[in-house]
Amino acid sequence: MNDAQRITGVLSPVVTPFRADLAADPDRFVRQCRWLSSQNVGLAVFGTNSEANSLSVDEKIELLDRLVGAGIDPARMMPGTGHCALPDSVRMTAHAVKLGCAGALMLPPFYYKGVSDDGLFRSFAEVIERVGESRLRVYLYHIPPVAQVPITLGLVERLLKAYPQQVAGMKDSSGDWNNTKAFLDAFAPSGFDVFAGSETFLLRNMRNGGRGCISATANVHPGPIARLYDRWQGADADAQQARLDEIRTVFQKFPMIPALKAAIAHYGRDASWATVRPPLVALTREQAQALVTELDQKQFTMPGL
């Protein structure tokens, strides 16, 4: 991989469609990824918002194969590949590299809490060594509210020193701008690509040397978020950011993943999209109606879906 061509911009942790029997639905998944691609949004499939940790490794490999098989460009894909178990992370990461994916977004092993940076360094190092591919690009996934296991500045420093070629960047889903800023200040000047964990921080991230965002709401509001990325140096950037924030605020009033799926079900006229796997629960009819009412009031649309 030519590092001048590293993946940047706005990526969506693509929500995963399920059939009524809770099986993953590859056809709807491919259609959704095509639509997101048409909106100039990259595919961070198998993220938190994808219910990735409710999918087996076999299911994820099958879905990724279907995407690539359908002709969607792996150079615009950054699948989640980090699992609790080392063999699962190695298997999923190796498969993503084999398919030519631009990067692998890697959760730390998240079952054991209070683990040391030594242990986390070794976790990532073992994956990188066992995959053994110079073209692997790892993006470290910091999401302490969910994983409860953080990616620290010290860990990134050690990983960059040991694997300067493979350790390419991170997604910061801490929700704490000061944390994102600390990573930008420390590592962005030497080519470490920081993605904000939502478009809330997209403009600030770009103004401070970041490379884009990977956001739940890019599933439903992809075009406008991608436009801010393209025009972040434009005169209307702050106004664009304010409009993005307004829409995101509506989604944040509801459980995020079921709300994303309810919006896709409604605006895409495809009720089956509302299905989530346990332990998540779909929005109630009343919640879904309240979501749509509020989005309609804000002239929200999903053009082309």
Q: Are 107 and 83 in contact (CB under 8 A)?
A: yes
What are the E-state strand segments in 4-103?
Answer: 9-12, 42-43
Alpha-carbon span 85 to 145, nearest angstrom: 20
Q: Does 281 bind a copy of itself (CB under 8 A)?
A: yes
Min separation Cβ 112 and a copy of itself, Å: 6
| Number of residues lying near a copy of itself (CB under 8 A) | 39
Q: Does 269 bind a copy of itself (CB under 8 A)?
A: no
Min separation Cβ 56 and a copy of itself, Å: 4
Neighbours of 139 (CB within 10 A): 27
Question: Which residue matches tokens 């799926």?
Answer: 261
DSSP state of 41: -
Of 61, 75, 99, 115, the one binding a copy of itself by CB under 8 A? 115
- Ranges within 130-149 binding a copy of itself (CB under 8 A): 145-149
- Nearest of 167, 235, 156, 171 to residue 202 by alpha carbon: 171
Of 118, 157, 236, 246, the one binding a copy of itself by CB under 8 A? 118
Alpha-carbon span 197 to 171, nearest angstrom: 6
Of 40, 68, 73, 110, the one binding a copy of itself by CB under 8 A? 110
Q: What are the φ/ψ torsions at residue 296 (nearest 5 degrees)?
A: -60, -40
Closer Cβ to a copy of itself, 23 or 271, answer by number: 23
Closer Cβ to a copy of itself, 126 or 245, answer by number: 126
Vertex 258, ends 256 and 263: CA angle to 5°?
A: 95
**Residue 72, SS3 per DSSP:** coil
- Ranges within 20-59 binding a copy of itself (CB under 8 A): 22, 48, 53-59
List, in sequence order, every residue forming a beta bridge with 241; answer none if it has no partner: none
Alpha-carbon span 127 to 86, nearest angstrom: 7
Closer Cβ to a copy of itself, 86 or 153, answer by number: 86
Per-residue contact string for residues 175-214; x = within reach of a copy of itself by CB under 8 A: ----------------------------------------
The one segment of 27-35, 82-90, 158-166, 285-293 that binds a copy of itself by CB under 8 A: 82-90
Contacts with a copy of itself by CB under 8 A lie at 22, 48, 53-59, 84-88, 91, 108-113, 115-116, 118-120, 122-123, 126, 145-149, 277-281
